[in-house]
Chain A
Amino acid sequence: MIDMDRPMGRTPLDRPGGLVGQGLDRIDGKLKVTGRAPYAYEYRFDRPAYGFLVLSTIARGRIQDIDTASVEQAAGVILILTHRNMPKQAPNSPRTAPQLVDDRIAFRGQPIALVVADSFENARAASYLVKVRYVAEMGAHDLAAAQGSAIIPPPRNGSSPDTSKGDVDAALAAAPVKIEATYRTPAQTHAMMEPHATIAVWNGERLVLCNANQNVSRGAATVAATLQIPRENVRVISRYVGGGFGAKLAVQADAILAAVAARMIRRPIKLALTRPQVFPATTHRSDTIQRLRLAADRDGTLLAVAHESWSDNAPGENSYEGAAQATRNIYATPNLLTAHRLVHLDLPVSAAMRAPGEAVGLLALECAMDELAVALEIDPIELRIRNEPRVDPQRGTPFSTRMLVPCMRKGAELFGWSRRSTRTGQVRDGEWLVGMGMAAAIRGNPMLPAAAKVALGPDGMLVVSSSMTDIGTGSYTILAQIAADLLGLPIHRVAMRLGDSDLPPTPGSGGSFGANSAGSAVYDACMNLRGKLIAKAGFDAGTRFIAGRLESGGRSATIEEVVGSATISADGAADPGQSRKTFTQESFGAHFAEVGVNEVTGEIRLRRMLGVFAAGRILNGKTARSQAIGGMVFGVGAALMEAIVTDVRDGSFVNDNLAEYHVAVHADIPAIDAVFLPELDPHSSAMKSKGIGELGICGAGASVANAVYNATGIRIRDYPLTLDKILDAWSRETMPEQRSEVGSVGRT
């Protein structure tokens, strides 16, 4: 058992020249580029039936009647499932996900029926025949309008929604320089390329779900608890996942309904959500309203920071967007206030999306810091350096490692920050006003309990098993690198078995905890296996595993010789222990962006971008860079184009498709790069690595918004920064070069 109560000492991974750290090609690459990697909907079973969801068309009220007569008569229809014939399920709780519970409608787009037919085409057509009569009630769908009804949400994972240190109000009143600004971020959709999908197959009492899922261990437990069947009778398979970003952390309606219906009709069922269904019927990131108040001395020393955030969720859902969480850790200040408020609206369920909290929180905080730098006439990097804390500003704990300043300095050097004009609107390239911006990146570095198993066969092949998933993060590859390194095997002698809830449990992929958790478990299993091999060989504890051999002193044996005729296996487990209590654990970075703003149209286009990050040991330089760039592009989208639009009249998501919900396309992303600074964090995990799946998005959008300000002098506080907002600012001026403010602001 690895637990992080104490820092890791020297480990075999510290040996130079190992596989860990190398930018190996993904080991699942060949399957993916040849189309042979099977995603959830792509396993073949005999005579599958096809499901299609029906969603509510009111946002609040109840179902008076569902007329299914014409559906039952429709071609090919086998079953229609509604709340009236839904078998008994466990009540709703954090551990269950019951569907079609009763006649209540809590949001527009809530699943209210499942149509099952002999073909996809028949199921889809029949779904349009379902006639529903509702008793509709007035709903609330607008965060700003309902802000006054906000509640203080319950604590989450032991973390209070509010923190307070010192006296922010007094400090603000006395400070010579202050910024007060309200930022707004819109609702966003994960938009992973693979929509939620399930195949449900019963084998007697045993249920197999091929399900697009980031966390199959929890998924199987949820399904078992919901259906009230033994956990060991549920197996969730998710070997390849077409992106997640949080959307597939919890099982959704497709898994439960496919499982129930497949049992009823004694046939496998395939059920995928359509893209327009994904928007309301699964989860999304809440919109936020964030009030920032910063106070500083004339030399830039922060005297007070207050960050208050409002977000919304569906009735009964108490999860809130933790936008102000990073504000607790990032800058030194004697007076610090953070607060989260939750408004219950009659809208679809809000939940985690890539870097929940930081992703939108830093869109506000890191722009407010830019505003403060402008007010102080201090370089934004210098302002941040002057407020670098020695210990966690809220908790008082030391940071395990903290490389924000080196990241900013390295980025400034590589990006050519010194060429930035400190005055706005000074640089032109034809019709384009050009500006540079920067922002800091910070993201929590969690770890959760995880398990793994390794088995070495007589053929010398090492099989690594874990319920860990690879959602594009590179889990297959980095776990194989860890295992190969520790056993001294070439990578092709490691076979990975992931994404199966029958394998040793892990928390899966999410929250940047995947590599720390599953990786440490694999590390532990491999170390235990080494112990068994050493004992079997009769070698001493100093035995080295190199090039397929055990070597100790003058003695040497091949792995196969030691294994002999029977497979030797070992279990591994890892636990975060106390390290996250004794140390504040965060990954850090700095973003640098250059944008052009078209002085005719107000169009904003990214010109180039750089992220410099420090996140402990980088397990695979190639996949790590890809993840960082991917996060940065997510941030560019958040800054410039992404927004779910709610029709506040009826609580519907208006732009529920990929033509009108804009994510960045190839043409939006020019030269962009990510660099990692060397770092080891012995307090983080067995590998001394930190999570990187979300760090790239944190602060990325703010650097873009700050670049827009630098280009134009316009500070837009209402994301995304679309051209209409630029034009609106210009329309209030006589000349585009002059300053303008969009959004509410008070500045002294």
Chain B
Amino acid sequence: MKPFTYERPESAADAVRAVATKPGAKFIAGGTNLLDLMKLEVETPTHLVDVNRLPLGEVADTSDGGLRIGALVRNSDLAAHPRVRRDYGVLSRALLAGASGQLRNKATTAGNLLQRTRCYYFYDVTKPCNKRDPGSGCSAIGGFNRIHAILGGSDDCIATHPSDMAVAMRALDARVETIRPDGSAETVPLAEFYRLPGSTPSEENALRPGQMIVAVTLPPPPAGVQIYRKVRDRASYAFALVSVAAIVQTVGGRMRSARLAFGGVAPQPWRVPAAEAVLDGAPAGTPAFGAAADAALQGGRGCGHNDFKLPLLKRTLTAVLATATRTT
């Protein structure tokens, strides 16, 4: 861990100004990912701006019946929040599927969205990695890539985004509220928040230097059954090989609406409108579920060790849809 100076500003305006004006500055909130990476010198900030005491820790109803989640709301508080449990079960489940009780007590909403990939080669500073060291190459392509992306990757990077929470939020059409260094506000739909790796895998999201997430807003709760299913190598405390967030409304045996998001398979929480369109109005059943899965996997390809994620995603999605339509 390289030496760094540290400050704890009193206001969000001071915080963004500090990060924008000091080269090498970074925000720190929960710290559960940033410090992990700093110890390995994957991240080497020279100045840390501690935002933990900014007043961004509230969960509040919005006027339209949605929910506004402060950037600093801890994952455990959000998972246990009565409205989240009642109206956004997919989010509560996704949060509880992630990490451990200790980590969830520290990790924040904003930090969870911004967590970095778990790619082994990203973590090893002695290895080439285009995400960590642009232009150095990708060690995962041609290396051990069992946990890597089958969708949305590029010839330069096949890392996945590790969040569970973000997958649920993607299905819920969340929006990310930010403030810029000049104090102005910008809201970015989560759908547009993450960048595909393409030839610039180090650029992961829409935030500009100094721009800070202040909240995530959820629209009013969608109708239908909400399910989050995570598939992993051990029963708990492991990252997803594949996860599925689904919100499906079924009326009279036909699916009226379906929202699907996938984790563990792509550089960002993955959503495929075409797969949802297949389900819209279709009778609940294996033909429609399979067609949706095929649509979701359009363009998917394995790199060898992760080939199994293609059938795994299809099987998991099919089972989730069967459960979702059976419950109603």
B1 close to A723 (CB less than 8 A): no
Digitize A351-376: 1 where CB-to-B-CB distance is under 8 Å, 0 elsewhere: 00000000000000000000000000
- Smallest CB gap from A669: residue in B: B235
Please, how many angstroms separate the alpha-carbon atoms of A728 and B302 in the complex?
14
Stretch touching chain B among A228-236, A585-593, A595-603, A611-619: A595-603
B239 close to A649 (CB less than 8 A): no
Min CB distance A726 to B, Å, is: 9
A727 close to B234 (CB less than 8 A): no
B237 close to A641 (CB less than 8 A): no
Digitize B108-146: 1 where CB-to-A-CB distance is under 8 Å, 0 elsewhere: 000000000010110111110000000000010011101
Min CB distance B251 to A, Å, is: 26
B235 close to A647 (CB less than 8 A): no
Min CB distance A701 to B, Å, is: 15
A724 close to B235 (CB less than 8 A): no
A128 beta carbon closer than 8 Å to chain B = yes
B316 close to A649 (CB less than 8 A): no
A600 close to B316 (CB less than 8 A): yes
- Smallest CB gap from B241: residue in A: A723
Residues in A with CB closer than 8 Å to B299 are: none
A601 close to B144 (CB less than 8 A): no
Residues in A with CB closer than 8 Å to B286 are: none
Partner of A57, one of B126, B144, B239, B312: B126
A125 close to B3 (CB less than 8 A): yes
A603 close to B1 (CB less than 8 A): no
A445 beta carbon closer than 8 Å to chain B = no
B residues with a Cβ closer than 8 A to A are 1-3, 39-41, 118, 120-121, 123-127, 139, 142-144, 146-147, 231-239, 241-242, 308, 311-312, 315-316, 318-319
Residues in B with CB closer than 8 Å to A728 are: 308
A665 beta carbon closer than 8 Å to chain B = yes
Stretch touching chain B among A326-334, A654-662, A675-683: A654-662
Residues in A with CB closer than 8 Å to B242 are: 601
A660 close to B3 (CB less than 8 A): no
- Smallest CB gap from B142: residue in A: A649
Residues in B with CB closer than 8 Å to A657 are: 123
Given A601-B316, A723-B231, A654 contacting B144 (CB threshold 8 A): yes
Interface residues in A94-134 (C-beta closer than 8 Å to B): 121, 124-125, 128
B126 close to A601 (CB less than 8 A): no
- Smallest CB gap from A75: residue in B: B3
B237 close to A667 (CB less than 8 A): yes
Min CB distance B26 to A, Å, is: 17
B234 close to A668 (CB less than 8 A): yes
B236 close to A647 (CB less than 8 A): no
Partner of B236, one of A431, A640, A667, A723: A667
A378 beta carbon closer than 8 Å to chain B = no
A397 beta carbon closer than 8 Å to chain B = no
Min CB distance A274 to B, Å, is: 8
Please, how many angstroms separate the alpha-carbon atoms of A657 and B147 in the complex?
15
Partner of A645, one of B123, B144, B235, B319: B144
A722 beta carbon closer than 8 Å to chain B = yes
Residues in A with CB closer than 8 Å to B127 are: 652
Chain A binding surface SS class = loop
Min CB distance A430 to B, Å, is: 11
A731 close to B311 (CB less than 8 A): yes
A662 close to B238 (CB less than 8 A): yes
B142 close to A665 (CB less than 8 A): no
Partner of A647, one of B41, B143, B308, B311: B143
Please, how many angstroms separate the alpha-carbon atoms of A601 and B1 in the complex?
40
Partner of B315, one of A57, A601, A647, A659: A601
Given A431-B319, A649-B142, A662-B238, A727 contacting B120 (CB threshold 8 A): no
Please, how many angstroms separate the alpha-carbon atoms of A136 and B132 in the complex?
24
B236 close to A654 (CB less than 8 A): no
B312 close to A667 (CB less than 8 A): no
A666 beta carbon closer than 8 Å to chain B = yes
Given A641-B234, A667-B237, A724 contacting B143 (CB threshold 8 A): no
Please, how many angstroms separate the alpha-carbon atoms of A668 and B237 in the complex?
10
A63 beta carbon closer than 8 Å to chain B = no
Please, how many angstroms separate the alpha-carbon atoms of A659 and B142 in the complex?
22
Given A723-B241, A728-B308, A125 contacting B2 (CB threshold 8 A): yes
Partner of A655, one of B2, B120, B237: B120
Please, how many angstroms separate the alpha-carbon atoms of A748 and B239 in the complex?
42
Residues in A with CB closer than 8 Å to B239 are: 659
- Smallest CB gap from B235: residue in A: A667
B143 close to A654 (CB less than 8 A): yes
A-B contact pairs, 27 of them (CB 8 A): A600-B315, A600-B318, A600-B319, A601-B315, A601-B316, A603-B232, A645-B144, A654-B121, A654-B143, A654-B144, A655-B120, A657-B123, A659-B238, A660-B118, A664-B234, A666-B236, A667-B234, A667-B236, A667-B237, A668-B235, A723-B312, A724-B146, A724-B308, A727-B308, A727-B311, A730-B311, A731-B311
Residues in B with CB closer than 8 Å to A602 are: 312
Digitize A29-62: 1 where CB-to-B-CB distance is under 8 Å, 0 elsewhere: 0000000000000000000000000000100000
A605 beta carbon closer than 8 Å to chain B = yes
Digitize A167-179: 1 where CB-to-B-CB distance is under 8 Å, 0 elsewhere: 0000000000000
Given A128-B41, A652-B124, A660-B120, A665 contacting B315 (CB threshold 8 A): no
Min CB distance B99 to A, Å, is: 10
B235 close to A605 (CB less than 8 A): yes
- Smallest CB gap from B99: residue in A: A659
Min CB distance B115 to A, Å, is: 12
Please, how many angstroms separate the alpha-carbon atoms of A724 and B315 in the complex?
12
Residues in B with CB closer than 8 Å to A647 are: 139, 143-144
Residues in A with CB closer than 8 Å to B318 are: 600
B233 close to A662 (CB less than 8 A): yes
- Smallest CB gap from A649: residue in B: B143
